[in-house]
Amino acid sequence: MKKALKIIGIILVVLIILVFLAPILFKGPIERSIKKSINNNVNATVSWEKLDLSLYKSFPDALVTLRNLSVVNKEPFAGDTLASGEEIRLSMDIPQLFKSGDEPLSINELILNRAFINVKVDSLGNANYDIAKESTSTAQDTTSSDGGLSLDVQHYEINDSRINYLDEASKTYLRLSEFNHKGTGDFSASTTTLETTSTGLISFEMDSVNYLKNHKLKLDADFELDLENQKYTFLENEAYINQLPLTFNGFVKINENNNEIDLTFKTPSSDFKNFLAVIPETYAKNLDGVDTTGDFMLNGIIKGVIDETHIPTLDISVKSDNASFKFAELPKRVENIHIDALLKNETGIVADTYLNLDKLNFKIDQDVFSATGNFKNLTENMLVNLAVNGTLNLGHLEQAYPLDLDMDLNGILKANFTTNFDMNSIEKERYQNVKSNGKASITNFKYVSPEIPNDVNIAKASLNFNSTKVNLEEMQITSGQTDANVSGSLENLMGYMFSDQDLKGRFNVQSNTFSLNDFMIASAEAKPGTGQKTRTTPASKEEAIKIPSFLDARLDFTANKVLYDNLTLNNAKGTLIIKDETARLENITSNIFGGNIAINGNVSTKNATPTFDMKLGLNSIDIVQSFNGMEIIQNLAPIAKALQGNLNTTLNLKGNLTKDLTPIMASLAGDAFAQILDAKVDSEKMPLLSRLDGSLDFINLDNLNLKDLQTNLTFSDGNINLKPFDFDVKGIKVTAGGSHSFENVMNYHLDLNIPAKYLGSEVGGQLAKLSATEIESMNVNLPIGLSGSFDNPNININTKQAVQELTQRIIEVQKDKAIESTKDKIKDFIDKNTNPEGNTNTTPQDSTGATPNTTKEKDREDKIKEAAGNVLKDLFGKGKNKDKN
């Protein structure tokens, strides 16, 4: 007995050791076997980061865990990820681990955690989930040499996962997020019952129309699975969409060439509370304690086949008669509610699907509102026929329903209009095919929200619908200091509302005072129809002001006064065109700074960094006012701080803007022309001028008159370059040029053409060698370098260079005078020695042919040469003679 126990003990120890060593010993072969089995069965790239094997966590089964699994498609969806998962756990019998890659694996349990499944069907009908390889087995050969996965699953789970489904042909998009699903059944049997539980958030969009968005979904359902015939039948079930309960009956059957469906669903009760449950929970709040009367019923039949040309027939109706509801904490009741809507398809052809809204009525106090219409050809060129009639006090909405809004609704809305159009005409802007008639108006509307600086009050706004346009007959608006009367037309209101188009219009705006500061708000705009709400927040340095992307509008405006920041523009008029997140200003004129301004250009917030490109023409403006009011002038011409007078200037500038649309000075590029009409200098207001004035005794800058001075400058990369220009200061010609930066660092040079007498003390007694006339007529250049900053300048007056130039000039004058004097002496000497006796008669020749006075003449010539040599020696050789002596 002891021997037997010992043997059993040894066997148990060996088994335990094997249990712990098996994952190490067999992990590699098992991983290769699983990969081979998968590759034999799918036309996709399947990979994982790590495989773990355990024989004790799910004993007596083996547990294989694949971490960071991915399934990547091949053609025609090459590179697309079909599925990925943080973890997939496969539980199977231990003998399954030792099968070769050519034998099928049987899995008992499958658990998928934190997965993303991306299902896509393209416009040609190709599905990215169709990755199973065709079997090579025949009817006579039931054993496949390719291997496979046998899903003899007893239990499976999908936890905290996300599933997307996109059908490009039908423009259908379904998304399940925060999805959890569990199922228990015996898949090894030909017929079994599958018990499932599902929860998640569901969104559904079809042909750009959003029907569900993050609605809560819950489904507890039992299915009868006929695996041999691929028929799946609903048994006991209950579903919730938000808080709306639904029950289903029927089946879905997968055939070789099509799918067959026969389903009915309905609300299990007719309580009108079911209607309120359809509303997203964010807005529905708590329905406990809501008093309701009347009924609400949802019934649907979906029956038929699904193939390349057909869909199931549809008959889905929503009805409510004489219903009402009232929330306990609110004073108003919504009553006389009538709903009659039908979604139907009788042929199985998708284009024949239509929606009838035969009745939608409700009443709050004495306000009655109703709408009727029908929508045909839903999936192709939808035909819309809609009629709206009624009066609604917007302030009653929050008193009847607990809306969660960041604003207060108020005002009286009245509408009585019909519209008839097809979507192709809207999308192709064939507005002549839109037939609309009627009116809509709102009065005493006040928009109050913490997200904008001031209340927006609309005393009255009225729209007139006609066959081609919607005319805004009038709109009286006030906000803060702003008042405006607006009229105009909307070209495509229906396209904006139904087809995700930009809102197009042309408006005339008249205002007594228009303050841009009243509307300086930052916004995260989203184009209508994208499923994202627009949001506006107060402007700040951290948030970007955006030009709305959905506006395509032209505004012709006049305003007695426009306020922006600290600027006041009077008698403003012009045109503002908004399109493609760009505001273009055309022929804007206004009075400002005692003169007038003309503006043309644009501002764009389309890119991450806003940009602008402007041309400004300012005429006869006051220099002091413009310097104090415009930062650009402070940076381009800091010296204007010391000027008093008027100027004309033209600025061409472009660059980047901050998030609150303030120019970034370092990014500016452009050029400017300035003409000072009449200006005087107050050097005490600018340290540069004050120090320069104190350094030059012969100039008083306070008496400087700059009338008609003209200059040009260019700027880029944070530097302003001044083209050299000339001006006159009390007879002194000054040439100025150079550059400075927006950081106020300057590098300028001045050349002053000054009279020589101003340098008398610098050149000693040399000027005394000149006559008074010569001194008065002699000028010399005095270079001056300016560096540092305008408030703390460095002034370099290059007197040495001026003195050297003046000295050289004096020497040249003295040489010229000496040469002239020498010429006169030579001439006098020659005259005296050429004819000393004053006799000009000729002398008779002797017998040899020579004149009697030849010897005397020769002697005189020698004396003349000697005398000339002595004069030149005196002129050019004095210094040498002095040195020799």
Convert the pLDDT of each residue in 37-79 to its tens digit.
Answer: 677 777 888 888 888 877 656 666 778 888 888 888 888 888 8
Indicate if the pLDDT at residue 102 is higher than 70: no
Structure tokens belonging to residue 99: 């099968």
Strand segments, DSSP code E, in 448-550 are 456-465, 470-479, 482-490, 503-515, 521-524, 535-538
List beta partners, residue 177.
201
Residue 350: per-residue pLDDT: 84
Structure tokens belonging to residue 223: 């299915």
Mean pLDDT on 265-288: 73
Structure tokens belonging to residue 97: 């681990």
Residues in the chain: 885
If you search the block for the tokens 């002496």, which residue do you land on? Answer: 825
Alpha helices in 652-719 (DSSP H): 687-695
Tell me: the pLDDT tens digits for 314-366? Answer: 999 999 998 999 988 889 999 999 999 999 999 988 888 899 999 999 999 88
Indicate the pLDDT class of residue 299, thresholds 50, 70 and 90. Answer: very high
Residue 277: per-residue pLDDT: 72
Q: Which of 267-281, 300-314, 628-642 has the lowest mean pLDDT?
A: 267-281
| DSSP class of 54 | E
DSSP string, 817-853: HHHHHHHHHHHHHHHHHHSTT---PPPPP-TTS--TT
Residues 820, 161: Cα–Cα separation, whole Å: 110
Q: Which residues of 661-694 are buried (b: 16+ CB within 10 A; e: fewer)?
A: bebebebbebebebebbebebebeebbbbbbbbe
Indicate if the pLDDT at residue 142 is higher than 70: no
List beta partners, residue 720.
715, 740
User: Average pLDDT over the chain, rounded to whole?
Assistant: 77
Residues 195, 235: Cα–Cα separation, whole Å: 10
CA dihedral 695, 696, 702, 705 (to 10 degrees): -140
- Tell me the pTM: 0.59
SS3 523: strand
Tell me: the pLDDT tens digits for 368-420? Answer: 999 999 998 887 788 889 999 999 998 888 888 887 666 677 889 999 988 88
Mean pLDDT on 590-609: 89
Residue 25: per-residue pLDDT: 46
CA dihedral 809, 814, 815, 816 (to 10 degrees): 90
Structure tokens belonging to residue 133: 């390889």
> What does each C-alpha distance from 709 to 41, 340, 596, 675, 679 come to in angstroms?
87, 80, 20, 6, 9
Tell me: the pLDDT tens digits for 564-584? Answer: 767 788 999 999 888 888 888
Residue 690: per-residue pLDDT: 80
Structure tokens belonging to residue 689: 């001028």
Indicate if the pLDDT at residue 128 is higher than 70: yes
**Is the Cβ–Cβ distance between 308 and 378 less than 8 Å?**
no
What count of other Cβ atoms lies within 10 Å of the Cβ of residue 764? 10
Structure tokens belonging to residue 572: 């403003």
Residue 389: per-residue pLDDT: 94
Indicate if the pLDDT at residue 151 is higher than 60: no
**Is the Cβ–Cβ distance between 463 and 473 less than 8 Å?**
yes
The larger pLDDT score, comparing residue 665 to residue 390, is at: 390
What count of other Cβ atoms lies within 10 Å of the Cβ of residue 752? 22
Residue type at 881? N
Interacting residues of 52 by C-beta distance below 8 A, sequence separation 6+: 23, 64, 65, 67
Interacting residues of 651 by C-beta distance below 8 A, sequence separation 6+: 614, 615, 616, 617, 618, 632, 636, 670, 672
Structure tokens belonging to residue 309: 């040309």
Residues 540, 252: Cα–Cα separation, whole Å: 57
Tell me: the pLDDT tens digits for 219-266? Answer: 899 988 888 888 889 898 988 887 788 899 999 888 878 889 999 999
Residues 536, 451: Cα–Cα separation, whole Å: 6
Indicate if the pLDDT at residue 528 is higher than 80: no
Structure tokens belonging to residue 804: 């050297």
Residue 659: per-residue pLDDT: 79
175 sits in which H/E element: strand 172-184
Q: What are phi and psi of 78, to 5 degrees?
A: -55, 130
SS3 282: helix
Mean pLDDT on 596-622: 89
Q: What are phi and psi of 9, to 5 degrees?
A: -65, -45
Indicate if the pLDDT at residue 868 is higher than 60: no
Indicate the pLDDT class of residue 145, thresholds 50, 70 and 90. Answer: very low
**Is the Cβ–Cβ distance between 52 and 34 less than 8 Å?**
no
If you search the block for the tokens 């602008």, which residue do you land on? Answer: 612
